[in-house]
């Protein structure tokens, strides 16, 4: 039983992998350069993470001649480097500083705005439904009908001991 | 771990004036009923030895630093000193600055840890010419 299911799963996965491969190749040939390339996960990656300060590779790996000479200077005493050079070396190695990583975004405003917008749209839909889709108003909800209904319940002595009719003063003709 | 946390939360700045606080916690934070628990000093010594390896390579530096930052503690200045010297041997100034940023981030709400660490590391920083993030202006956005 077990090897049957694994076999089936294996064939399913292989089929899906082939489909994905063919799909991506078709996309690459017809669409040209799309939004962003997929990162090659088999190579060392760069990341900005608070809990992992040193990523696998520097941010800038293609160095200009100026960068290369700066890197040469880095091999000597760092006291010879100016503040700008030190900053440049940092920016070559890393994309965002810790402060930039921690910077709050205004994404929450977009999210809340979107939420309220769609609630509003829903409200409009409900309003339209109320005018164009609701069935006619039932007469049993009119005040006049409800008064007659209450009178009938009192006349029938509904729950006279502790319930409905017990609250009506039959002698005086009003609610207790 | 709890000992260090209690000391940090209760005494706060006062503990700084009394003695250099041990911000490192024992490595074996699991509750062994038996088995040796590594002391703070052993933990520190182990990490200092790691970073003091003369021919340390870039991968080992990154691995060591990322692992160390992964622990629930702020590393002792002497461990960081060894790490900064390892950066020097690898000619990597950017990583040295990154390490300082990471230490400040690790301190979290305890704002007195980072100035203490910088104060302890100041001789090394001037000797090697490593600027603090504040000196470069990258501590603010």
pLDDT tens digits, residue range A16-28? 544 444 444 444 5
pTM of the shown model: 0.68
Q: Is residue B91 part of a domain?
A: yes
CATH code assigned at B123: 1.25.40.40
pLDDT of res. A30:
57
What are the phi and psi torsion angles at B96 (to 5°)?
-60, -45
| φ and ψ at residue B128, rounded to 5 degrees | -90, -15
What string of pLDDT tens digits covers the 141 residues of chain B?
544 444 444 444 444 444 454 555 555 566 677 888 999 999 999 999 999 999 999 999 999 999 999 999 999 999 999 999 999 999 999 999 999 999 999 999 999 999 999 999 999 999 999 999 999 999 998
The sign of the CA dihedral B28, B29, B33, B39 is positive
* Structural domain count of chain B: 1
Does B117 reside within a domain? yes
| Structural domain total, chain A | 2
Residue numbers of the domain that contains B61: 40-136
By residue range, what is the domain housing residue A158? Answer: 139-176
The answer to whether B97 contacts A99, with C-beta atoms less than 8 Å apart, is no
- Best mutation target, A45, A54, A95, to test chain B (most B CBs within 10 A): A54
- H or E, element range at B36: none
B4 touches chain A (CB under 8 A): no
B140: left (phi over 0), alpha (psi -120 to 50) or beta: beta
Residue A139 is predicted with a pLDDT of: 95
> In angstroms, what separates the C-alpha of A59 from chain B's closest C-alpha?
11
Residue A18 within any structural domain of the chain: yes
Nearest CA in chain A to B59: A56
Q: Residue B60 and residue B79: Cα distance in Å, rounded?
A: 15
Q: What is the ipTM of this complex?
A: 0.76
Q: How many residues does chain A have?
A: 176
Give yes or no for B92 touching A (CB within 8 A).
yes
pLDDT at A40 (0 to 100) = 87
Q: CB distance A53–B98 less than 8 Å?
A: yes
The domain boundary residue, chosen from A33, A57, A81: A57
Nearest to B101 by CA among B83, B114, B88: B114
Give a yes or no: residue A123 inside a domain: no
Domain presence at residue A108: no
Chain A: residue nearest B104 by CA?
A98
**Considering only CB atoms, which chain A residues are within 8 Å of B105?**
50, 98, 102
What digits encode the pLDDT tens for the residues A30-77? 556 667 788 888 999 999 999 999 999 999 989 999 999 999 999 999
How much is the mean pLDDT over chain A?
86
Contact A83 B135 (CB under 8 A): yes
Residue A142 predicted with pLDDT over 90: yes
- Minimal C-alpha gap between B9 and chain A (Å): 22
């Amino acid at each position: 039983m077990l090897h049957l299911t694994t076999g089936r799963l294996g064939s399913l996965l292989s089929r899906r992998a082939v489909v994905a491969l063919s799909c991506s190749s078709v996309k690459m040939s017809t669409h040209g350069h799309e939004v962003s390339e997929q990162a090659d996960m088999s190579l060392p990656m760069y990341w900005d993470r608070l809990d992992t300060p040193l990523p696998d590779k520097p941010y800038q790996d293609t160095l200009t001649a100026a960068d290369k000479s700066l890197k040469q200077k880095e091999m000597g005493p760092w006291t010879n480097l100016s503040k700008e050079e030190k900053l440049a070396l940092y920016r070559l190695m890393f994309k965002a500083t810790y402060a930039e990583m921690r910077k709050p975004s205004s994404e929450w405003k977009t999210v809340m705005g979107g939420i309220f917008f769609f609630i509003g749209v829903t409200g409009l839909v409900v309003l339209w439904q109320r005018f164009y889709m609701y069935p006619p108003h039932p007469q049993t909800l009119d005040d006049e009908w409800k008064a007659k209904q209450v009178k009938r319940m009192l006349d029938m002595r509904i729950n006279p001991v502790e319930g409905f009719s017990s609250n009506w003063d039959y002698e005086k003709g009003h609610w207790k | 771990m709890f000992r260090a946390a209690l000391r940090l939360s209760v005494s706060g700045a006062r503990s700084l004036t009394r003695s250099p606080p041990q911000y490192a916690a024992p490595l074996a934070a699991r509750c062994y009923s038996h088995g040796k628990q590594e002391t703070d000093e052993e933990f520190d010594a182990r990490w200092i030895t790691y970073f003091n390896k003369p021919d340390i390579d870039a991968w080992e530096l990154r691995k060591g630093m990322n692992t160390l930052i992964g622990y629930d503690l702020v590393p002792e200045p002497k461990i960081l000193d060894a790490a900064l010297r390892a950066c020097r041997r690898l000619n990597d100034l950017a990583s040295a600055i990154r390490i300082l940023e990471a230490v400040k981030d690790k301190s979290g709400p305890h704002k007195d840890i980072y100035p203490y660490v910088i104060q302890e590391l100041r001789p090394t920083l001037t000797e090697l010419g490593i600027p603090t993030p504040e000196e470069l202006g990258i501590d603010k956005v």
